[in-house]
Structure formats: structure tokens, C-alpha cells
Amino acid sequence: MDSPVNLPNGLVGPDYWRSLDQLADTPQFRRWVEREFPAGASELADPVSRRHFVKIMSASFLLAGLGVTGCRRPVEKIQPFSKLPENYVHGVPQFYATARPTRDSAVPLVVKSNDGRPTKIEGNPLHPDSNGATDSFTQASILNLYDPDRAQRFLQAGKAVTREAALDALREIAAAFGGIYQGLGAGGAADPGASKVGGQGLCFLLERSNSPSRARLQTLIREKLPQARWFIHEPVDFDIHRQAATQAFGKPVRPCFRYDAAKVIVSLDCDFLGAEPDAHVSIRRFVKGRRLTGSSDAMSRLYAAEALFTLTGANADHRLRLPASQVFNLAVQLAAKVTGEALRADDLPASLVDPHWLDECAKDLLAHKGAALVVAGHRQPLAVHLLAHAMNVALGGVGKTVTLHEAPEPTEGSLADLAGALEAGAVDTLVILDSNPVYTAPADLEWPKTLRKAKAVIRLGAYEDETAALCDLHLPMAHYLESWGDARTADGTLVPIQPLIEPLFGGMTELEVLARLGGLDTTNPYDLVRATFRALAGEGEDTWKRFLHDGWLADRASTPMEVEFNRPAVAKLLSEAMFIPAPSADRLEVVIHRDASVDDGRYNNNGWLQELPDPVTKMTWENVVLLSPATAAHFGLDIRDRENNDLQVPLVKIEAGGRVVVGPAWIQPGLADHVVALALGYGREKSGRVGSKAGYDAYRLRTAASPHLLSGAKLTPTGARHKLATTQNHCAMEGRPVVREATLAEYRENPRFVQGMNLPEPEAAKDAAGRPLPLYPNPLDVPDANGVTPRDKALHQWGLSIDLNACVGCSACVVACQSENNIPIVGKDQVRRNREMHWVRVDRYYAGDSTNPQAVTQPMFCLHCESAPCESVCPVNATVHDEEGLNVMAYNRCVGTRYCSNNCPFKVRRFNFFDYHRRPLEELVGPVYSTPLTSSTDGEWDLIRWLKNPDQGKRPGEEWELLKLVKNPDVTVRMRGVMEKCTYCVQRIEQAKIARKVQAGPSGDIEVPDGTVQTACQQVCPAEAITFGNIKDPQSAVSRQKALDRNYTVLEFLAVKPRTTYLARVRNPNPALPGGKDPTLLSQEYLEKNPPLPEGHAPAARGNRSHGTPTPAGKGDH
């Protein structure tokens, strides 16, 4: 009876139950269950049990969901690791040191890799000449890696061939020129094989590079093929700096400018904060010399003479606008005063420069011997550079403000030389590595015709571009993140280029192609780089590992050289230099310059850069013809300006040297009169889908002799109009103290001048202790039952400080934020409607009259107000505050009423008007935007595609897959209809907190140490203008910044209590110059619109502000 398992009666012996159901059906069992599990017993009796119901319902929900909403995730096949790679933790990113090679330098990097795909580029903070900062090009270069328009095929005579076939063709060429000619060469069958021995007729066209491996391969190939010829073409060439230094000092050296060591800097048309090489390094050095922690600190003074309005000019204390051709004249006069001897005085034409300005500038330089620096820009001729060196020598700057480093003389010929060789029929096979001469060659070389004088053209290129179309064999080039390489940074340290991913499209590197053509034993890029490193740093495997880990290695190239000024040579060269007459309205001067977004065109297909507003003009998606207001008025050009919406400008024709370019005119305040500025890099005939059709091609005016400056140009309005897209077209600050600025003298007199610009805050009710009570209590300050507020409870209170005195406006933060936070590009049409999605915007204001204004820049992004006005108006609680003071967005909860944006005083919220991530850009060209109801993709109706996979969007399948790779997996990709904004990189904060918790273990010390969390904008900032951290900790860097006397809050009177505050800007004008003692033009504007109120009517501080009688703006010669 007492069965061990307590079975009901009748179920013993042979009467086995066959199934659980049978067992369950017996009344005994039921009784037993009821006794044992009274709660669940009814389920057995009830034919429609809860469990059954849930089962049916979940199945039907699943069915319903198949069609509509249930299936949010596409089905993806995953292949698990059969063996886990070493050190791999799923979901945890890995970081690798690498570098981005530039023309004559490199940017040392640390790149984040998520599951084997690089997602974010940062500067390498370990590198001695870096603070971990980078520039916008570097930030955006990751997008090029995943560009679906990149060259993906091996092309032979325009037809796609296999990689093997292409490599065979390369081998045949190598064999042909290597002397074992078998009649298989590209088109060279008629030639006697012997003539090709030693590489005769083989020409290489390269871009500039300072890769030791490439130099080594070149040497190797030269040995094997001594007859082969080498040429270099660089559309924007910075080699002039090296040439000038080499000439001036009689040794193969290049200069390195130490802006941090200089107290007085004179820039001769040198945009060292923007268009010059390694601008991010220069920015850091420059800002270091101007950083203020208190009013007693010293700061450097910058004089800039320039034709364009560049960032350098915007940050100058004295900006002299001058046609580029007249800078030589200025340099001659200044050098005469500084060096005390006339290097070139005989035939000095009349100068446009006020002699008083020259005197005072020279005096200032001479007063700071050993701490003065004169720099000349790459667009200026050699003579100006030589004069700058002469001045630096006279001022004792050599070795202090300018150091000289060894730089081997290049042995390659120029593009003009190559053109000559081609014309002479001396080129049998031309190998073009990376360069795109069909687009970038000076117009007078007529490259498309000249190129085909070679019998065969082989090209390695990243895009199937203009040059690719004229090649016999085209090889896809690997991105620098896909391949091995090496380079030297400007300070001479060696940096590795490590791949983070296998070449996505099977591309090859320059080194690989060279090795194959040279018939070298090894063609593996890793082996090539490793061999070079062995030669430079010895055999040791540890050194190599350390090199790869740290991302740099110092060797002899980084030590400055001792030099002596070669005065006779300089004098001789100077005497040969020609003065160019000043331009006039009939003889305009054309300045052709590097573009701040697409460089010389190499980033033309990069959407992030195309949409990055030019730091000064704020123009996106194309280049414009810049004219000064007076010049534009002279030609009767009117800009139909509806304040940043539907901007229409006249198209003008620029004629110079018999060549013509047509582009949209744009008025640039502060530009020198009678100067026309044209940016390179646009107007591509063959580019990707992003870059084609954008802008005009300024290369069509260029000549080989004078690539940057053309005189005697003519301008004629065409009568047609063109639509432009700019992100900011209201340029005046209207006297509002949004950016606060003072001169150094004013600041010293009244260190708390920023407080004087505050408006009275509205009077609030006060509590018993006399503290103001807000209408809605700040949730951070509402005490719980124990009287503890969330503010006290939270370990961290995040805050941010932006030093406007440091920010130069380079806009790298905009791209860094875009890369970190998965921010889409929206296209030109949408930018025209102000719908760009950038979370960080850099506002640029002009002060003073438009002839010669001063400019200031201000990065603006969500300020994370403690009493955030956006939060209280959201009807669905989609934007709320967290206890650490972040104003957070719950994208999933947002329905998109846009009320938060309306109520945001700073207008830092951006709205997804369309599904920007998922829509191909060509579909964003209004006014009729494509709807999925009528459009189709890949031959399939978009509505069906959406039903099948709502996440895919309207991009073609492959493009969509590539697009997904570039996304940061830690940040939500926002869909259309939701609002978004800066989060203070909350994903980084959370990662740091988690890491800290893991690290802390049982110790419980989970406060994130200061400096651990860096926002993306902070990390990229070369000026270190952004400080982020815990403001609860009074010792944190951000708290110390906020404690400075220049700290102020924008629109403080609204009492929204932003967590982001600004440090006021300080200019350091020379008091001896006209206007040097006046308040800055921005302050004058403020004082005009906000006259000091009588006593007792205003916050006391405002009256305290010392200032002279405001002078009419723009009169002073700043």
C-alpha cells in the first residue's frame, strides 16, 4: 500500500501507465494532485486552461506578427566560433594602434574595432606629438572604408576580370621590364624586347608619402630597373615648406613650427589652423600658447595677413586682408624692418599695407626675440617662405619657435616632367599609384589626352574615377585600415599602419603593387613593412611588438638639426622673385585653395565630409566662388537670401588664362577685394553617388606653373541662379552675449567681465532659508523621506565646459560625434531646409562690418539643462532627466511632436524628418520625396520589401550591409519621426561605469575616476577646448574649468541651469595699433545694443565693465 513514490492505488504491478496523460486522467491522480498542489490543480480539469490559452495566443500573435510588427529583427545566419580567438570577449571592443598616412606626415591613431570591424578612429594619446586628437579628415576616413562606391573590381580594358587575371597581367609587365620579355607586355609586342630591359619605358606616378617602406621599395626597384622613371604629383603640395627650408639653410631639412613656444606669431597667408599640413597639431600648439587659467596668464598674439577668410584669420588678433599676390610685398617690407637689412628693396611697388601696421608688427616681433615666429603658407611662392625664414633667423626663432628636421630630397620628377616624357613618347607603361591626374592635373597639361600617349596605363585607385576610365588595367586600392604600411609623422617618429580588417573588396596596397612590379621576392605587405622596420630598428621581435602596441617609435629623424642660414642663396633667390601687381576689378586675382571638407577631392565621396559645413563659410555639399562684399557689389551680384532657406545665388563665369570655370558666387565677409577664391575637390565627373554632381571643378583653371594663384582673371555673371545649402546664414550675434569676448587688457582689468553681461534672472519665490524656489522643483533637488536628494545620492553629476578661447572652429568634433553616435547624412536638399542631423554644430558669428569683420566660433550641442525646458513639454515622457544630471532621450518612446525642439532655447535637438539611415540619398532630393507606396528597390516594390524586413530600408541589399558595418553598436540607430540630440556620449559613460564596477570588485569604490570618460568631441578636439567630467567632484578637471572667472552660461537668465558652460574668449590685440585698445568688435556690438543701465537698474557688474566709447564697428584696422 505504501508505495515508495506515493502513487495512487491501482497503478502498481503490471498495470503500467503508458503516458502522462493516461496517468493524469485517473481520478486518484487528480485527487493526489489536488491534495499536493491545490493551486495548480484546476488547470488539469479546465479544458481551456490558462496555459493552453497563452499557448494559442502566443502562436496567433506570432502569426499576426509575421506580417506586421512582431518580426522586428531580420533573420541572420550566424556562425559561432568553433574555437574562440584569444583575448576575444564578445561585445567588448578592441583597440589597435595604427596611423593614417597623409601627404608628408601621418596621424597616429588608435582605432576601435567591434567584432572585427573598425568603427571609430581616435588619436593615439601615447604618441609624443599628440594629445589623442585628430582632424575631421581622419575622423571621416572610416566612412571611406565602408563606401559602397569604392573600387571593388579588377578592370582590364574596362572589363571586370578576376584578381588572378589582374595579378597575372602585373606579373607579365614586371617580367617584361625585368628583362625576361616574352611578348606579353601591355601593347608592347612590336618593340624589341631588349629595349625594355632595366625598366626602360616604365614610369611610376606616385603621390607624396613619407612611408619608409615605400622609399625602400623604390630603392630596390631602382636597383633592379634602373631605367624606370619616377614622378610625383600632388594637387595640393606642401613640399614648398621643405624646399624653402632646404634652400634657406643649405641642408635637406624641413621646418616644424612650434606655435606653443611663440609669443608673437605672424602668418603670411598661412592657414596653419586649417589648410596647412598637420593642422590638428598646429592647433594644439597654438592654443597651448594662448590658454588662460586666470587674468594674469600670458597669451600669444597672432597677426595674420591673408586673402581668404580662414580659421587662422578668424583666430588672429590682428587680421590684415590682403590679396595673396601682395603678401610678398608685405613680407619684403616686414623682413626689412625685422632683419634690419633690405633683402629686396630696389623695386618695391606701392604697398597696400598701412606702414603703421608694419611698424608695430615688426616692433612686436622684435620685442619678443626668441619667442617670435613668422610662417608662410603653402600657397605663397618660395620667396615669401625664404623671407619668413630670414625673419625667424633674425628673431632668433630657429631651434626655438621653428625647428628643422632632416628630410631627404625627393628624387622624383614632377607631373610636368611626366607630361614631357609622355609627349616625347618615352613612356611605354605608366603605373599610377593612387593619384587621379585626369581630374587633378593642371588644366594646361591637358592630361586626358597626354595620358593616353603611354602605351599602357596601369592604375591602383580607391575609386573608379576619371583616371580609372582611361586605364588599361585598374586595381582596387585597399584602405589604410585594411592594409599594412608605415609612415613618419611630422616630428619624425615612425608609426605603423596596421590593418583592422581584411580588405573588404580584395584591394591591394601601394607597397604590394610596387613589389609585384619590381618583381621582388616577397609581395606580402606585412613582410615588406616588417623588413623595413628591421632595417630601421633592428631584429628584435619585442621592439616590433612594442611598436605595434604603442603605435610609434622614435628614431633619429625626430631630433632637430643644427643649421645655418644661407643668406647669399636666399638673397639670390629673392632677387629673382617677381612682384605681381595688385588686382583690380578688371584683373581679378584667383586663389585656388584646398577645401576644408574634401581636401583636393580625395574625400569627395565621403558623405560626412560633404555635409560637414565649411568652418568659415558654413557651406555644405559643394564649393562656391568666394568674393568680397565690395567685389560682389561691383559686379552687381545679389544673393537671394531667405535667411538660410532656399538660398539662391548667381552663377558666375571666371575666366583666366583662356580657361573658364562656372560656379555659384558667394559673398565672404572679410575676403580681400578683387580676389576670387575657388576651392578644389568638387565638380567630379566620375565619383561615387555622394560626390558626383556636387560643385564645380576649379582644377580647370589651374596651371602647372602657378597652381594656387592666377592673375588677370575676369568675372562675368551668367545670369543663371544656383541653389546652395548652408547650415548658418545669420552671421551676426545681434548684440546678444551668446559668445562673450574681451581683450586681454579688459580681462585683466575686470576678470569677471562675463558676469557683467548676464541679464537679471527672474525673481523666484524663496524658501525659508532664502534660497530661490523654482516653479517646478528640480527633480534632482527633491529630497526623499530621509532628506537626501538624488543629486546627493548619485556618485556622479556630469558636466561639460567649453573653452571658447581654445576653440578655433576646426569642426573635427562634428565629424567625431557623427562617427560615434551613428548620425546620418541627409543630403543637400535637406541641408537647404535646415534638416542636417549633426548633434554638434559650430556656430560662427561675424562682428563688425562685412568688409573686415572679426569672427568667433562656438560649438553648441545639448547643454543638458537641469531644469530642461524640453522635458516638461514632452507629452509622452520621452525626454527625461537621470539622477546623474543627463537629459536623456528615450528614442523608443518618442512620438515626434517636436515640441521639445520648439521649447529648447538653444535649438540643439535634431529631428528625423525622414528615415535618413535607410533612404538612399538620391531619394532625398525634393520637392517630391519618394514614398514606399510607389517606389521600388532592387526590382522589388518597397512596400513588399518593408513587409518582409522592416529594418532593411530602401537601400539596396549590399549597400545596406556595408552601411551597418560602420555603425557604433553601442548607440541606437534612430528611425524616422524621432527627436535626437547630444547625450554626452552616454554609452561611454555607462561603459566606464561598468568597467569601474568590475574593477572595484568588493572594494565598492565605484566612482569613475576623473578623465576616464571622454566624450567623442572632447577626445577629438585638438585644442582641448572641451572638458567633461563629474562636477560633483570639486577637484575634477571640469569643476576646475567651471571655477575659472571666464565661466559663463549662455542665456543664463532663463534659469534652465545648463550643465554645459562656456569660458569666454579673449583676444590679445596690440594696443599700439589702431583699435588695439578698443573692445573687440563683438563687445562693441554688445555694448551698442545693451547700453549700460543707470545705477540700481541692472546687475551691478554690468556697469562695472570698463570700456571706451564704442567706436563705429569696423573702422579700426584689425
Segment interacting with other proteins (CB under 8 A) among 266-274, 603-611, 902-910, 1009-1017: 902-910
Q: Which residue has the cell 559673398?
A: 667
Q: Which of 906, 984, 1028, 1062 binds other proteins (CB under 8 A)?
A: 906
956 binds other proteins (CB under 8 A): no
Segment interacting with other proteins (CB under 8 A) among 477-485, 789-797, 931-939, 1038-1046: 931-939
Among residues 428 and 942, whose Cβ is nearest to other proteins?
942
**Which residues have CB under 8 Å from 716's CB, separation 6+?**
652, 653, 655
Angle (CA) 442-103-441 rounded to 5° is 10
**Which residues have CB under 8 Å from 425's CB, separation 6+?**
453
Segment interacting with other proteins (CB under 8 A) among 222-230, 623-631, 797-805, 905-913: 905-913
In the complex, minimum distance from the CB of residue 941 to other proteins, in angstroms, rounded to a whole number: 13
887 binds other proteins (CB under 8 A): no
> Which candidate, 619, 689, 813, 684, places its Cα nearest to that of 140?
813
In the complex, minimum distance from the CB of residue 626 to other proteins, in angstroms, rounded to a whole number: 20
**Which residues have CB under 8 Å from 786's CB, separation 6+?**
none
Q: Distance (Å, rounded) from C-alpha 43 to C-alpha 56? A: 15
Segment interacting with other proteins (CB under 8 A) among 341-349, 727-735, 986-994, 1033-1041: 727-735
Angle (CA) 398-401-402 rounded to 5° is 55
What is the pairing mode between strands 253-257 and 264-268? unpaired
Hey, what's the cell of 1055? 534659469
Q: Distance (Å, rounded) from C-alpha 425 to C-alpha 429? A: 11
Segment interacting with other proteins (CB under 8 A) among 268-276, 424-432, 810-818, 869-877: 869-877
Segment interacting with other proteins (CB under 8 A) among 116-124, 312-320, 565-573, 899-907: 899-907
Question: What x/- string results for residues 274 through 313 when contact with other proteins is judged by CB under 8 A?
Answer: ----------------------------------------
Instruction: Considering only residues 343 through 382, tell me which ones interact with other proteins, judged by CB under 8 A.
Output: none
114 binds other proteins (CB under 8 A): no
Q: Which of 543, 728, 949, 1047 binds other proteins (CB under 8 A)?
A: 728
1054 binds other proteins (CB under 8 A): yes
Contact 551, 127 (CB under 8 A): yes
Q: Which of 858, 1019, 1039, 1084 binds other proteins (CB under 8 A)?
A: 858
Instruction: Considering only residues 37 through 76, tell me which ones interact with other proteins, judged by CB under 8 A.
Output: none
Q: Which of 13, 47, 787, 875 binds other proteins (CB under 8 A)?
A: 875
Instruction: Considering only residues 973 through 1032, tell me which ones interact with other proteins, judged by CB under 8 A.
Output: 975-979
Q: Which residue has the cell 546664414?
A: 729
In the complex, minimum distance from the CB of residue 943 to other proteins, in angstroms, rounded to a whole number: 8
Q: Which of 290, 841, 881, 917 binds other proteins (CB under 8 A)?
A: 841
Rounded alpha-carbon distances, angstroms, from residue 661 to 23, 140, 667, 689: 92, 29, 18, 23
Q: Is the preceding omega at residue 1071 within 30 degrees of 0, hence cis?
A: no
814 binds other proteins (CB under 8 A): no
Q: Distance (Å, rounded) from C-alpha 334 to C-alpha 353? A: 10
In the complex, minimum distance from the CB of residue 311 to other proteins, in angstroms, rounded to a whole number: 17
Q: Distance (Å, rounded) from C-alpha 387 to C-alpha 334? A: 9
Among residues 501 and 1050, whose Cβ is nearest to other proteins?
1050
Rounded alpha-carbon distances, angstroms, from residue 870 to 489, 791, 896, 913, 1029: 46, 20, 13, 18, 23
1110 binds other proteins (CB under 8 A): no
Among residues 478 and 900, whose Cβ is nearest to other proteins?
900
In the complex, minimum distance from the CB of residue 665 to other proteins, in angstroms, rounded to a whole number: 20
Q: Which of 168, 359, 781, 915 binds other proteins (CB under 8 A)?
A: 915
Contact 677, 310 (CB under 8 A): no
Rounded alpha-carbon distances, angstroms, from residue 613 to 366, 810, 1027: 39, 10, 23
Segment interacting with other proteins (CB under 8 A) among 70-78, 132-140, 508-516, 970-978: 970-978
Segment interacting with other proteins (CB under 8 A) among 357-365, 531-539, 867-875, 959-967: 867-875
In the complex, minimum distance from the CB of residue 994 to other proteins, in angstroms, rounded to a whole number: 24
In the complex, minimum distance from the CB of residue 933 to other proteins, in angstroms, rounded to a whole number: 5
844 binds other proteins (CB under 8 A): yes
Q: Distance (Å, rounded) from C-alpha 638 to C-alpha 651? A: 11
Contact 43, 50 (CB under 8 A): yes
In the complex, minimum distance from the CB of residue 729 to other proteins, in angstroms, rounded to a whole number: 8
Residue 398, strand partner residues: 402
Instruction: Reduce the DSSP state of residue 325 to 3 states and report it.
Output: helix
Polymer length of the chain: 1118
Among residues 59 and 775, whose Cβ is nearest to other proteins?
775
- Considering only CA atoms, give the Rg of the chain: 33
> Which candidate, 177, 221, 208, 218, places its Cα nearest to that of 106?
208
Q: Which of 225, 528, 625, 874 binds other proteins (CB under 8 A)?
A: 874
Segment interacting with other proteins (CB under 8 A) among 3-11, 27-35, 430-438, 730-738: 730-738
Among residues 379 and 910, whose Cβ is nearest to other proteins?
910
215 binds other proteins (CB under 8 A): no
896 binds other proteins (CB under 8 A): yes
Instruction: Considering only residues 743 through 782, tell me which ones interact with other proteins, judged by CB under 8 A.
Output: 759, 776
1050 binds other proteins (CB under 8 A): yes
**Which residues have CB under 8 Å from 805's CB, separation 6+?**
290, 291, 292, 1046, 1063, 1064, 1065, 1066
In the complex, minimum distance from the CB of residue 844 to other proteins, in angstroms, rounded to a whole number: 8
Rounded alpha-carbon distances, angstroms, from residue 464 to 160, 520, 882, 958: 12, 27, 49, 18
893 binds other proteins (CB under 8 A): yes
Segment interacting with other proteins (CB under 8 A) among 188-196, 542-550, 653-661, 836-844: 836-844
Tell me the DSSP string of 423-445.
HTT--SEEEEES--HHHHS-GGG
Question: Residue 1116 — φ and ψ, nearest 5°?
Answer: -65, 150
SS3 of 1046-1081:
CEECCCHHHCCCECEEEECEEECCCCCCCCCCCCCH
Question: What x/- string results for residues 630 through 669 when contact with other proteins is judged by CB under 8 A?
Answer: ------------xxxxx-----------------------
Q: Is 405 left (phi over 0), alpha (psi -120 to 50) or beta?
A: beta
In the complex, minimum distance from the CB of residue 873 to other proteins, in angstroms, rounded to a whole number: 5
Among residues 907 and 997, whose Cβ is nearest to other proteins?
907
733 binds other proteins (CB under 8 A): yes
In the complex, minimum distance from the CB of residue 189 to other proteins, in angstroms, rounded to a whole number: 59
423 binds other proteins (CB under 8 A): no
Instruction: Considering only residues 1076 through 1095, tell me which ones interact with other proteins, judged by CB under 8 A.
Output: 1089-1090
314 binds other proteins (CB under 8 A): no
Hey, what's the cell of 829? 536638399
Q: In sequence order, which ranges of 47-114 are alpha helices (DSSP H)?
A: 50-67
Q: Distance (Å, rounded) from C-alpha 493 to C-alpha 511? A: 20
876 binds other proteins (CB under 8 A): yes
Positions touching other proteins (CB under 8 A) are 642-646, 728-730, 732-736, 738, 759, 776, 830, 833-835, 841, 843-845, 858, 860, 869, 872-877, 893-899, 901-903, 905-907, 910-915, 926-927, 929-933, 975-979, 1050-1051, 1053-1054, 1089-1090
